[in-house]
Amino acid sequence: MIDPAPTLKETASQTAGPYVHIGLAPKQAGFEIFEKNFSNVLVGPRTKGERIRIEGRVIDGSGTPLRDVLLEIWQANAAGRYNHPADRQAKPIDPTFRGWGRACSDFETGVYAFDTIKPGSVMGRRGRPMAPHINFWLVARGINLGLATRMYFSDETAANAKDPVLNLIEWEVRRKTLIAQREERRGKIVYRFDIRIQGPDETVFFDV
Amino acid sequence: MKQAASEYGEFYQRDTSVQPPAYTPGYKTSVLRSPRNALISLQNSLSEITGPVFSKSELGPLDNDLIMNYAKDGLPIGERIIVHGYVLDENARPVRNALVEVWQANAGGRYRHKKDQYIAPIDPNFGGCGRMLTDANGYYVYRTIKPGPYPWRNRVNEWRPAHIHYSISGTGFAQRLVTQMYFEGDPLIASCPIVRTISDEEAIRRLVAPLDRNAFVQFDSRAYRFDVVLRGRRATPFEDYIQGAKQ
């Protein structure tokens, strides 16, 4: 089949600006308007999988955390399947798990957090499995086009070593910017994932 | 099933000529918030071609009516307008069930946000945000008050043209887009450093919503038309490359 030539141009992106919370997280902006709100909690009581918290900051080129960033994550369920019709892997869907969440950094500390489960491995291109990972997208004042990256897990050393996407990154030293560090805090599992937009340890961002 | 497979093909490579680069010194905040390394280009996998699916049950009946969704003891002040249009992809196909979220300042140019200190008053009857899902034709519509321009810190005397912020979530996570809609005839558009992050004049023109007289409501509202284009998908079946896929 021949691909049709694209006939329209993608709409140009513009920054989400400093007041992104009004539209995408009005509670954080300081008011109640919608009955149901999107949130940074992806799990319900019956969701299958290991409960984890992801926590971190997004840091600019001066080393200062962004206090006005908005992040979204998209991930597979514990079995490694996305809750989307294009994913037809022979694995179960978890009806309690959409796999999407939205968080804002704290206005004082710049810390963001998600409560979710650790995803399973998803099949990659040409039958090469991808290590468990979570897709990130972030926007803020000063960011002209949303930044896309991935978070991998520090306790998945063997799978990470074979991951086709991590291996695409020519500079091995940069791969570690995508690996979140597992910690145990009062019996809870926390993965620490700081995103550096600029600087010596600049996070790898993808043109997806 | 082949039909379904092609419906969710890989996304076309992004046409960066119509997008702003990350580093745009005229918009000063971008200087420290732009990556210096090249983005790593990734062939789409399931992680990129899939994305969250939203349902009507998550939205309220007034979510797309910014005139009424925060009205407490009266109507918000300002020019009543309707904004409507289609969310399409680069193949000119409708993007169905896309989540469209909008936010904006009030008629005086003030945002209902604890960080906005502009002297213009908060409107007690105006929240400034709304959301909706596109229908089977990719169509969306909402009603609001025309936002005012406002000053911001960049150069000393910098004023944003009136605008409405948009966030669109389509059928795949790689389609995710935020942008801003401007209003036909606004003289502040041409000199705005945020608009100027885009170098392609046609791409800028497409962010400016024309007045749509055919959609005016008599003795009620004027209307603006704003279409959004998300990345298109290839028709090539993708499943061939995925082991263990159900056929």
- Residue pLDDT, tens place only, A24-48: 999 888 899 999 999 999 999 999 9
pLDDT at B5: 46
**Quick one: average pLDDT of A3-21?**
91
Q: What share of chain B is helix, strand, coil (3-state, %, to 5)?
A: 15, 25, 60
B175 touches chain A (CB under 8 A): no
Mean pLDDT of chain A: 96
CA atoms of A30 and B111, how far apart (whole Å): 11
pLDDT digits (tens, 9 = 90+) for B114-146: 899 999 999 999 999 999 999 999 999 999 999
CA A83 to chain centre: 16
pLDDT at B7: 80
CA atoms of A31 and A22, how far apart (whole Å): 8
Query: Which of B33, B47, B234 is the closest to A142 by Cβ?
Result: B33
**Quick one: average pLDDT of A42-60?**
98
Buried b (16+ CB within 10 A) or exposed e, B163-172: bbbbbbbbbb
Contacts of B176 in chain A (CB under 8 A): 72, 137, 146
Query: Which of B19, B29, B241 is the closest to A125 by Cβ?
Result: B241
Q: Chain B: nearest CA to A141, how far in angstroms?
A: 7
Residues of chain B with pLDDT under 70: 1-6, 237-247
pLDDT at A5: 73
Over its C-alpha atoms, chain B yields an Rg (Å, rounded) of 20
Across the interface, whether the CB atoms of A197 and B33 are under 8 A apart is answered yes
Contacts of B197 in chain A (CB under 8 A): 14-15, 144
Residue A41 DSSP label: B
Q: Look-up: residue for tokens 């298109």?
A: B232
* More confident of the two residues A6 and B137: B137
Across the interface, whether the CB atoms of A145 and B22 are under 8 A apart is answered yes
- Note if the pTM is more than 0.80: yes
pLDDT at B3: 41
Across the interface, whether the CB atoms of B234 and A72 are under 8 A apart is answered no
Across the interface, whether the CB atoms of A207 and B39 are under 8 A apart is answered yes
